[in-house]
Structure 1
Amino acid sequence: MHYLILLHEAENGSARRPDARPAHLARLDELRQQGRLVLAAPLPKIDADDPGAAGYSGSAIVAQFNDLDAARIWAEAD
């Protein structure tokens, strides 16, 4: 089944984003290689490809998981 995961930007997320991004992208790439990733996109706070200082409110992911618990476990580890 496909699940929509909305990840909300953590407090000080913009400052932590450069350090967390490589691992986040690697986890998404793993889903992609398994053929389970449908969509992954950042959610900028303003209507712009690069929101600059405005930052991001989070990200949206649509991926296939065996069940809701598996989707939650994946999201909580991200």
Structure 2
Amino acid sequence: MLFAIWIEDVPDSLQRRLKVREAHLERLREFVAQGKVKMAGPFPKVPGEDPTKTGFAGGLIVADFDTADEAEQWLKDDPYYAEGVFKSYWIQPYIKVLPAE
């Protein structure tokens, strides 16, 4: 089942985020290789600017999990979570309608 994970970063988390960014991305790449991730990406703090310089507001991941609890545990195992980047998160079941595959 697909779940959408909406994440809000704590203010001024850029340095913490950048410190573990490669580990976070590698973990996502492994999940992509398993066919689990449907989409993932950050919310830039300043639209049109490089968020690695101006900051991130959070992010969104849509991925396949058996349960919401599994999705939450997966998120809590993420390097960003361990580094204290996340202020809050929201996990909801997600139904992809378009585009049809």
TM-score of the two chains, using structure 1 as the length reference: 0.86
Q: 5 Å matches for 1:1-78? A: 1-51=1-51, 52-53=53-54, 55-78=55-78
How many matched pairs? 77
Query: Shift of residue 44 of structure 1?
Result: 0.6
Unaligned 5+ segments in structure 1 are: none
Q: CA RMSD in A?
A: 1.4
Query: Shift of residue 12 of structure 1?
Result: 3.7
Structure showing the higher helix proportion among its residues: 1
Q: Distance in 2 between matches of 1:5 and 1:49?
A: 24
Query: Shift of residue 10 of structure 1?
Result: 3.0
Deviations 1:38-64 (A, max 9, x none): 0011101121151433x1111110000
Unaligned 5+ segments in structure 2 are: 79-101
4+ residue stretches of structure 1 with deviation over 2 A?
A: none
TM-score of the two chains, using structure 2 as the length reference: 0.68
Q: Calculate percent identity across the aligned residue pairs.
A: 38
State whether residues 7 and 75 of structure 1, in contact with CA within 8 Å, keep that contact through their aligned partners in structure 2: no
